[in-house]
Amino acid sequence: MRNLDWNTLFRASLIVALAVVGCHKEETPKTDVTALTSQADLGATVGSLAELARPEPVAVEGYGLVGGLPGTGSAYCPPQLRAYLKQYILMQLPTERVNLDKLLDSKNTAVVWLEAMLPATPSVDDRFDVRVSLIPGSEAASIRGGWLYKADLVVKGTFGVDTRPLATVSGPVFVNPITTAETDRKSGCILGGGRTLYEYAATLRLRRADYRVASAIRNRLSERYGANVARAVSSRDIEVQIPPAYRHRKQRFLTMVSATYLDVTDDLVKARVNTFVHQLAAAPDKEGAEIALEAVGRESLDKLRVLLKTSDAKVRLRAGRCILGLGDDGGLPILREMAMDAKSPFRAEAFDAVMLSAKRNDAVALARRLLRDNDATMVLAAYEHLRRLDDPTVSREFVGRSFHIEQVVQTNRRAIFVSRSGDPRVVFFGAPLECSDSVFVESPDQSIVVNARAGQDFVAITRKHPTRPGIMGPVKTGFDVSGIIRALGGEATAGPGGELLGLGASYEEIVAVLEQLVAKGGVAAEFWPGPLPKIGLPVKK
């Protein structure tokens, strides 16, 4: 898309089908559940009668404007794109008077190309990372420190065609400061700045059109998974909504739909349970049997409980997870035991099962215990789930309109986590963390200095002014690291006495300072940088 000439860009291009839109929260199971569950003596499954399009992430793109640059932008903008941006900006600011040509021609702005992968089965307002880079021909020197104004994202290959946007994006540009290689200042990411605009619904397509079969599938799915889950939209297509109970297990639900049997009698249910319990206990493909049993429903519980006593840990894991997925607490003790066992190869799977299927109080209790685990991976997983559950163990505050400070008290670890994907946030484990009373730390570009002399009862922070000669500050704080970051990233406003309250540093600058603060021994804590965005690849969550 980037290399096409502008005439080609605005010609009508192929409209990409949206039936493949899918989920980012789970890996698609590799098991062919349809083949496993469609044995003739057990009856017909939904998957034996209809095909469910495999959900896939969707590539999207767009064009936008980065502003707030310190004279490093460019006026370059091809005429067709200029017309589009002017119209779009007017739609965003219908009541404000803006000289659009002056805005686009300013050295404080730059036109950029946007690309991202939408989650495969999104809910409205799901968040994702977006890559931002200068358009070919731009003379801008850097987009570092800029802010992307709100822009639309459409299916890749359809820009210039009258297609509805699937998402929007806006926010500060993040250029990774933690690297040994030379930094590319002409591209970056909008961390968690993308927002989806639609709700995923799956489509089952009958292999042969038949209103009676479509109605039967609709009725069976609604009976098993909740009223109005399915809707027959034609003699061949059934639309399937994700039930709220499976919001965080969307792929699991879709696989269960295919494994759901159409006809239900006491004898058939008993035969199905016996067959799949045996397969779960003895067959190589345990995943397919587990999914089939959960699709059968609570009639599987008695036989599944017997498997909790087997010597095979993998069978116990799957049986416990299936039981919990069916809304029964009987699977909780074995899963909790595995999650707490540092030697168990299944502890991460067991922990996720509890967090996604157990009652809130049980999930929170386990996650809080794992905050004190010796494995940093488990500590971070516990934090992420507690954060998702909005548990008070994780306190949160917004700083400088661009990132969050989060503090986790109930942990044995002393660490600072900085996200480089998803919501921009600094997380203090073992809070409060305090800075040394004798420290001198500079940011890599020497624009920020954090200084405390021996015997001094405060930390002084200064910053080079981002747009003109001179120094901002000093701002004086206590030794609490969160207070230092709050002052550094807070808006540059004056207090009652005229003193400067914040320095307005970007999240990117905050990350760089924190890395140096730990590296120089300014704070006794580990430094945990989060993974970088994987734009262009399916994202697991």
Residue 220's contacts (CB-CB under 8 Å, 6 or more residues apart) are 46, 260, 261, 262, 264
Q: Is 170 inside a domain boundary? A: yes
State whether 76 and 107 are in the same domain.
yes
514-519, long-range: CB within 8 Å, 24+ apart, which pairs?
514/416, 514/418, 514/426, 514/481, 514/485, 515/177, 515/178, 515/418, 516/441, 516/442, 516/443, 516/444, 517/435, 517/439, 517/441, 517/450, 517/481, 518/416
Mean pLDDT of the chain: 89
> What CA–CA distance (Å, rounded) separates 400 from 504?
7
Tell me the pLDDT tens digit for each residue of 456-465.
Answer: 899 999 999 9
pLDDT category of residue 21 using cuts at 50, 70 and 90: very low
Determine the pLDDT at residue 182: 65
The domain boundary, picked from 259, 278, 308, lies at 259
As given in the structure block, the two tokens for residue 348 are 């991460």
Nearest Cα residue to 264 out of 287, 295, 286: 295
pLDDT category of residue 535 using cuts at 50, 70 and 90: confident
Task: List 139's β-bridge partners, or say none.
Answer: none
Task: List 171's β-bridge partners, or say none.
Answer: 148
Residue linked to tokens 């994780």? 394
What does the pLDDT average to over 285-313? 96
Determine the pLDDT at residue 27: 41
Instruction: Decide if pLDDT at 36 tops 90.
Output: no
Determine the pLDDT at residue 492: 87
User: How many domains would you assign to the chain?
Assistant: 4
Q: Is 304 inside a domain boundary? A: yes
Instruction: Decide if pLDDT at 430 tops 90.
Output: yes
What does the pLDDT average to over 523-530? 96
State whether 249 and 300 are in the same domain.
no
Q: Is 422 left (phi over 0), alpha (psi -120 to 50) or beta?
A: left
What does the pLDDT average to over 20-28? 36
Instruction: Decide if pLDDT at 398 tops 90.
Output: yes
Tell me the pLDDT tens digit for each residue of 140-175.
Answer: 999 999 999 999 999 999 988 778 999 999 999 999
The domain boundary, picked from 170, 196, 222, lies at 196
Instruction: Decide if pLDDT at 18 tops 50.
Output: no
Residue 382's contacts (CB-CB under 8 Å, 6 or more residues apart) are 351, 367, 368, 370, 371, 373
As given in the structure block, the two tokens for residue 146 are 């800029």
State whether 211 and 174 are in the same domain.
no
State whether 127 and 171 are in the same domain.
yes
Instruction: Decide if pLDDT at 53 tops 60.
Output: yes
Instruction: Decide if pLDDT at 540 tops 70.
Output: no
Determine the pLDDT at residue 466: 86
State whether 190 and 204 are in the same domain.
no
DSSP string, 167-211: EEEEEE-B-----SSPP-TTEEEEEEEEEE-S--EEEEEESS--H
φ, ψ of residue 302 in degrees (nearest 5) = -60, -45
CA distances from 119 to 14, 22, 142, 203, 236 (A): 22, 6, 29, 17, 27
As given in the structure block, the two tokens for residue 208 are 């042969």
Q: Please give the residue range of the domain that contains residue 213.
A: 6-55+200-259
State percent of the chain over pLDDT 90: 77
State whether 351 and 423 are in the same domain.
no
Q: Is 158 inside a domain boundary? A: yes
State whether 343 and 244 are in the same domain.
no
CA atoms within 13 A on the CB side of 218: 19
Instruction: Decide if pLDDT at 538 tops 60.
Output: no
As given in the structure block, the two tokens for residue 159 are 């820009």
Determine the pLDDT at residue 181: 63
As given in the structure block, the two tokens for residue 128 are 């994702």
Determine the pLDDT at residue 69: 94
Tell me the pLDDT tens digit for each residue of 254-274.
Answer: 999 999 999 999 999 999 999
> What CA–CA distance (Å, rounded) separates 79 from 312?
67
Instruction: Decide if pLDDT at 235 tops 60.
Output: yes
Task: List 471's β-bridge partners, or say none.
Answer: 464
Q: Is 409 inside a domain boundary? A: yes
State whether 420 and 520 are in the same domain.
yes
The domain boundary, picked from 145, 177, 196, lies at 196
Q: Compute and round to an integer the Cα radius of gyration of the chain.
A: 27
State whether 66 and 51 are in the same domain.
no
Contact yes or no for 407/431 (Cβ under 8 A): yes
Determine the pLDDT at residue 522: 93
Q: Is 398 inside a domain boundary? A: no
Residue 165's contacts (CB-CB under 8 Å, 6 or more residues apart) are 62, 152, 153, 154, 197
pLDDT: which is higher, 521 or 401? 521
State whether 249 and 282 are in the same domain.
no
State whether 524 and 422 are in the same domain.
yes
Q: How many CB atoms lie within 10 A of CB 93?
A: 12
Q: Is 296 inside a domain boundary? A: yes
> What CA–CA distance (Å, rounded) separates 366 from 336?
7
What does the pLDDT average to over 372-384? 96
pLDDT: which is higher, 87 or 98? 87
pLDDT: which is higher, 537 or 53? 53
State whether 329 and 275 are in the same domain.
yes
> What CA–CA distance (Å, rounded) separates 356 from 27?
15
Instruction: Decide if pLDDT at 61 tops 50.
Output: yes
Q: Is 382 inside a domain boundary? A: no
pLDDT category of residue 26 using cuts at 50, 70 and 90: very low
CA distances from 42 to 12, 152, 263, 324, 415 (A): 50, 49, 9, 25, 54
Q: Is 12 inside a domain boundary? A: yes
